[in-house]
């Protein structure tokens, strides 16, 4: 069995972006793509990540590579493999970059295991990657490939999707671990300038926040009856099964149907008109799902008739996320401990990942149905769920951490200065659930803000600049 697997990317027609970004931006993108194709010549751009589903990196790559494909920019995406120990090590690095102890410093044995796993992946990658090709390695899971690929003549950039804007002994420990692996990288990409460690030369850094695809199954318009149909099918809305399964447009074209149920833990379901607060996240401690439940139970449920839906991927589904089952299990235990009248207004939902388009349509329906979307993360690289919610015209209550700070501009949502302040969180959610007029005003401002700043053309142009300069530097 091979370690490195290609991921199929579905071309996304760039032309359809024009309705969102307007003719001028569209023209600028087409011109830049034409010049970049010329500079690229017969090189290929390789993207290497460690999972093809169930997180922001996978989501972003589908979007950006889908557009690149339509613009005839030769790019490919491959996913590396690792054993359970490798992903425990990389999850610890991930958590330490976010300032968590995560079991303390990695030992020499663990460092050796990380390097050996990536050496084995590199051998396979080098069957395909040619000297002069551009390689974008994503996140700590792939950082250790840099030396091998650069040595073989590839132009390697490392794209880090995570970070915090402060440091402690754990962030330093993770960066000390990664730094030697990254010595040959010619470019570095971060979502925010605040995340760039001081030892990376400024001239090699590009700041590129992710973007959303307004037409993907995750973000495309769904009529309210389709939304209700999908939510009834997956089992989070009361009112009987719909006559027709909820239909959506697949990335590859053609119509898909949501037919699979989600796994729903609930004592009661909201009716179609009940207000619902929703947080969609991986089951990761830094997303703080259990505290969202706690804040809702203490400060929202007693004073409102709203419901809370906490939704995330099926826990066995995300291969590079070994903590998912434990975090979900913890939420389940806390849910069982809630008083019955509160418990009946909180739903824990895991969404099947068998069909990524269908999974995306489920997330879309949940976000569109939400009266309020929350993202009460303790740390967040970017937080695509925030842009996704805002694009749908929903008011988002998010922690003032990481990329959420950049996304929620004044009047386009609510930023919580202290993500651990559950009373403030509860007050914000409760008041938006109660005040539809304010919710709708904030939601409309949010949608316009995302169209201006976080749609694919902005993202593609920044990559074009970085990769172009790497080619020029040779």
Minimum CB distance to ligand UDP, residue 423 (Å): 25
279 token code pair = 């947080």
**Structure tokens of 118?**
């990536």
Could you tell me the smallest distance in angstroms from the CB atom of residue 49 to ligand UDP?
A: 11
- Of the pair 187, 402, the CB lying nearest ligand UDP is at 402
Is the separation of the CB atoms in 98 and 164 below 8 Å?
Answer: yes
Nearer to ligand UDP, 56 or 187 (CB): 56
Task: In angstroms, give the least distance from the CB of 87 to ligand UDP.
Answer: 15
Q: Which residues contact 92 (CB under 8 A, 6 or more apart)?
A: 102, 103, 106
Pick between residue 149 and residue 366 the one whose CB is nearest to ligand UDP. 366
Structure letter (DSSP) for residue 262: P
Supply the minimum distance, in Å, between the C-beta of residue 369 and ligand UDP.
14
Q: Report the residue number, 363 or 455, with the smaller CB distance to ligand UDP.
A: 363
Q: Which is nearer to ligand UDP, 187 or 389 (CB)?
A: 389
The arrangement of strands across the sheet holding 396-399 comes to: 263-265, 346-351, 307-313, 276-280, 372-375, 396-399, 414-416
Measured from the CB of residue 383, what is the shortest distance to ligand UDP in angstroms? Answer: 5
Q: Distance from CA of residue 136 to its chain's centroid?
A: 17
Which CB, 56 or 393, lies closer to ligand UDP? 56
The Cβ of residue 143 has, within 10 Å, a number of other Cβ atoms equal to 23
Compute the least distance from the CB of residue 161 to ligand UDP, in Å. 6
Residue 40 or 64: which CB sits closer to ligand UDP? 64
In angstroms, the CA 456 to CA 463 distance is 11
Instruction: Look at residues 61, 55, 402 and name the one whose alpha carbon lies nearest to residue 213.
Output: 61
d(CA 151, CA 184): 8
Least separation in angstroms between CB 360 and ligand UDP = 6
Least distance to ligand UDP, CB of residue 30, Å: 27
Q: Is 165 helix (H, G, I), strand (E, B) or coil?
A: coil
Using the minimum distance from each CB to ligand UDP, give the nearer residue, 55 or 187: 55
Spatial contact of 145 and 94, defined as CB atoms under 8 Å apart: no
Contact 93, 140 (CB under 8 A): yes
The secondary element (H helix, E strand) that includes residue 185 is none
* CB closest to ligand UDP, residue no: 56
Which residues of this protein are in contact with ligand UDP, per CB under 6 A? 54-56, 59, 218, 280, 282, 312-313, 351, 359-360, 363, 382-385, 388
Residue 207's contacts (CB-CB under 8 Å, 6 or more residues apart) are 189, 190, 191, 192, 193, 196, 462
Nearer to ligand UDP, 363 or 397 (CB): 363
Could you tell me the strand order of the sheet in which 155-160 lies? 5-6, 75-79, 45-49, 134-138, 155-160, 187-190, 205-207
Task: Write out the two tokens for 224.
Answer: 């309210």
Q: Give whichever of 51 and 173 is closer to ligand UDP, judged by the CB atom.
A: 51
Which residues have CB under 8 Å from 468's CB, separation 6+?
A: 36, 39
Q: Are the C-beta atoms of 135 and 149 separated by less than 8 Å?
A: yes
Min dist CB 373 to ligand UDP, Å, is 11
Closest contact distance (angstroms) between CB of 14 and ligand UDP is: 20
Asked whether the beta carbons of 102 and 336 are under 8 A apart, the reply is no
Nearest distance, CB of residue 133 and ligand UDP, angstroms: 26
Return the number of the residue (161 or 343) whose C-beta is nearest ligand UDP: 161
Give per-residue burial for 149-162: e unless 16+ CB within 10 Å, then b.
bbebebbbbbbbbb
């Amino acid at each position: 069995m091979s370690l490195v697997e290609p991921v199929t990317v579905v071309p996304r027609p760039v032309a359809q972006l024009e309705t969102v970004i307007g003719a001028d931006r569209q023209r600028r993108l087409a011109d830049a793509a034409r010049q970049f194709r010329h500079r690229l010549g017969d090189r290929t751009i390789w993207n290497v990540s460690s999972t093809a589903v169930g997180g922001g990196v996978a989501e972003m790559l589908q979007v950006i590579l889908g557009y690149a494909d339509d613009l005839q920019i030769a790019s490919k995406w491959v996913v590396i493999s690792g054993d359970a120990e490798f992903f425990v090590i990389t999850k610890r690095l991930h958590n330490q970059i976010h300032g968590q102890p995560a079991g303390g410093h990695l030992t020499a044995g663990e460092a050796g295991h990380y390097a050996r796993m990536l050496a084995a992946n590199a051998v396979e990658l080098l069957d395909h990657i040619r000297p002069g090709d551009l390689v974008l390695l994503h996140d700590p899971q792939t950082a250790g490939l840099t030396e091998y690929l650069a040595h073989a003549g590839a132009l390697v950039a490392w794209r880090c999707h995570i970070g915090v804007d402060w440091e402690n002994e754990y962030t330093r420990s993770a960066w000390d671990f990664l730094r030697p692996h990254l010595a040959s990288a010619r470019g570095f990409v971060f979502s925010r300038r605040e995340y760039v460690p001081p030892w990376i030369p400024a001239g090699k850094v590009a700041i590129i926040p992710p973007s959303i695809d307004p037409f993907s199954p995750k973000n495309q318009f769904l009529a309210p009856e389709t939304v209700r149909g999908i939510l009834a099918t997956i089992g989070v809305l009361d009112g009987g099964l719909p006559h027709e399964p909820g239909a959506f447009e697949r990335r590859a074209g053609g119509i898909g149907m949501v037919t699979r149920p989600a796994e729903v833990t609930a004592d009661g379901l909201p009716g179609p008109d009940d207000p619902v607060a929703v947080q969609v996240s991986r089951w990761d401690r830094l997303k703080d799902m259990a505290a969202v439940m706690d804040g809702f139970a203490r400060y929202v449920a007693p004073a409102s008739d709203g419901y809370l839906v906490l939704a995330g991927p099926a826990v066995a589904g995300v291969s590079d996320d070994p903590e998912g089952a434990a975090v979900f299990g913890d939420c389940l235990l806390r849910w069982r401990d809630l008083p019955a009248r509160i418990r009946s207004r909180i739903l824990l939902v895991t969404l099947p990942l068998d069909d990524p388009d269908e999974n995306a349509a489920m997330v879309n329906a949940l976000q569109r149905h939400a009266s309020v979307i929350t993202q009460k993360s303790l740390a967040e690289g970017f937080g695509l769920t925030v842009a996704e919610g805002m694009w749908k015209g929903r008011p988002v209550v998010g922690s003032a951490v990481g990329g959420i700070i950049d996304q929620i501009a004044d009047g386009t949502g609510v930023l919580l200065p202290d993500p651990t302040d559950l009373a403030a969180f509860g007050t914000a959610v409760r008041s938006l659930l109660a005040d539809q007029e304010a919710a709708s005003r904030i939601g409309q401002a949010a949608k316009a803000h995302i169209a201006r700043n976080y749609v694919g053309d902005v993202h593609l142009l920044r990559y074009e600049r970085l990769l172009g300069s790497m080619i020029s530097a040779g």
